[in-house]
Structure 1
Amino acid sequence: MMQPIVKPGEFTALDQFIFDSWGYFVIPNVLNPDEVVECLAASQRLHEGKPKKVSYQVGNGYATEPSLERLIDHPAALPKVRGLYGSDNVILQSGWCTVQPAHSPHGGWHQDGSSAFDFKLLGHPIPLLQLRVSYILTDQSQPGMGNMEMIPGSHRSRYEMPLSARKGEEDCPIRHIVCAPAGSALVFHNAVWHRSHEHLLDYDRYIMHYIYSPPWARYSDRFENDKVFMEQTTPVRRAMLGEFEKPDSTYAGGYKTPLYEK
């Protein structure tokens, strides 16, 4: 099965070509087995006592779980984020931990965006405003494991997916089931049509999603940053969570670029 695989770390011209063509790529072996165990346990704690339904999500978990905090600026993925935006001026708009229960059906086809204002109204192609880095925390190396399903290149389509396909009345023959082991990261454009694949196995599926946006975007998983957490995290993570110097609230006077570690 063809997979858009890229190497971790440095953002390359081939990375750019793959992403521009498909709208997403996969970085394998981002987390080692111990890190997968830690992040999975953290995700399970976040969902403890919460509803178990397809792609139910809990936000802001990085503020209470150190293993998830470390993923904010992971060296395998952050260069890809900065490279795809062509700028260091990005923030973590939100972080969502999702669960898909054992023996559950697929989710619904959709594009990411804002219910307050549909991104497709901004122009064509739909601009990159939410770049998602999704860390796979349970094995998805074969279909039927709660994989992400994507429509390659759909971030550039002038046409919406037909309602009949979105409702499941007919299948979409160009769908791609992303197969990757735990510890891999899937990076994708907000305009790519996607959904969660069916999960046929006996354990719950977990993915930790980090959404990176321009610095003027409003947070979508929190109203404000936790002050205690911000005092103890790193300067880079504070900047990525939106705590940076600017001369005014409108950005009219300029913007001081956060000092990311190169």
Structure 2
Amino acid sequence: MLNPEVAPGPFTDLDRFVFESWGYLVIPDVLSADEAAECYDASQRLHAARDREFGQIGRGYETESCLERLIDHPAVLPKVRGLFGDRFILQASWNTMQPAHGGVGGWHQDGSSAYNFNQVGYPVPLIQLRASFLLTDQTEPGTGNMELIPGSHRSQVPLPPDIRTNRGDVPIGHVICAPIGSVLLFHNGVWHRTYRHDGERDRYTAHYVYSPPWVRPADRFTNSEAFLERTTPMCRALMGEFDRPDAPYGASYEPLPFE
């Protein structure tokens, strides 16, 4: 099956071409099976108090060290840097659960329903770059995959309302089939949905959303002081902890502490 697969690590000219063309990349072999299993167990703990239905929980990195390590994963962060430059933040981290035998989700673009990103300009600007760590095997369709419409971040027209209302299929939908431990990195403007899950085991995915430093965080009103004290300088910077946040996010905002 055709996938826009790229190598982990440095963001290459070919990576940029593929991303600009399709709106997303698939990075295989980011997590080992053991690392993915550790993150899966952590995800189960996060969702333990919830009803067993589709949903998401933020800030899991504050209590689960294995999820904290994904914030600046060396296989993924260079791709984010290649697209955003040296100044960006972790705008949100969401851990999602799709129960076994769950149906398809609704088609949507990421952003804010209070003021949709397509109102900012055309093409839809890159304001949220999502890295989705697959914690279950999704090499076959019907395993809680993500389905995306390639290149739809550049469409001048929205997906028809009847398709969205009825959660209908589209002839150019691309169901991402990738092994456990892969990462899907995609543009907020790409139309996408959760595909059906026919399996017997609940599906968990760890999402990390990166944005320019002036975007308001979505999973928190403030950062946990306890987390900031114990985490790494890079993760602290990615939380948006910089001086004079009321300044125009240029001269006063230091680049991330890359080596």
Matches within 5 A, 1:234-253: 234-246=232-244, 249-251=246-248
Structure 2 match to 1:110: 108
**Paired letter, 1:179:** C
> How far apart are residue 237 of structure 1 and its match?
0.4
Change (3 A) 1:245 1:122: same
Deviates more, 1:138-147 or 1:249-258: 249-258
Q: Which amino acid aligns with 1:257?
A: E
- Give the match for residue 45 of structure 1: 45
How far apart, CA to CA, are the structure 2 residues paired with 1:51 and 1:30? 30
Structure 2 residue 161 is the aligned partner of structure 1 residue 163: yes
Distance 2:250 2:192 in 1: 38
C-alpha contact (below 8 Å) 1:107/1:195 kept by paired residues? yes
Post-superposition offset of 1:153: 0.1
Question: Does the 8 A contact of 1:244 with 1:258 survive in 2?
Answer: no
Cα distance change on mapping 1:249 and 1:168 into 2, 3 Å:
same
- Equivalent pair of 2:96/2:206 in contact (CA under 8 Å): yes
Give the count of matched residue pairs.
259
Deviation digits for residues 217-245 of structure 1 (CA, Å, limit 9, x no counterpart):
11100111000110000011000001123
Distance in 1, Cα, partners of 2:249 & 2:152:
34
Change (3 A) 1:147 1:170: closer
Query: Structure 2: where are the runs of 5+ without partners?
Result: none
Say whether the 8 Å CA contact 1:150–1:177 is kept in structure 2: yes
The ranges of structure 1 where at least 4 consecutive aligned residues each deviate by more than 4 angstroms after the TM superposition are: none
Are the counterparts in 1 of residues 214 and 249 from structure 2 also a CA contact under 8 Å?
no
Question: CA offset at residue 165 of structure 1?
Answer: 1.4
2:256 corresponds to 1:256? no
Separation of aligned partners in 2, 1:121 and 1:234: 36
- The aligned counterpart of 2:78 is 79
Could you list the per-position Cα deviations for residues 135-183 of structure 1 after superposition, in whole angstroms to 9, with x for gaps in the alignment?
Answer: 0001111000000000000000000000121123742000000001110
Identity percentage over the alignment?
A: 56
Do the aligned partners of 1:238 and 1:244 also contact (CA within 8 Å) in 2?
A: no
Unaligned runs of 5+ in 1: none
Structure 1 contact 236–258 (Cα < 8 Å) conserved: no
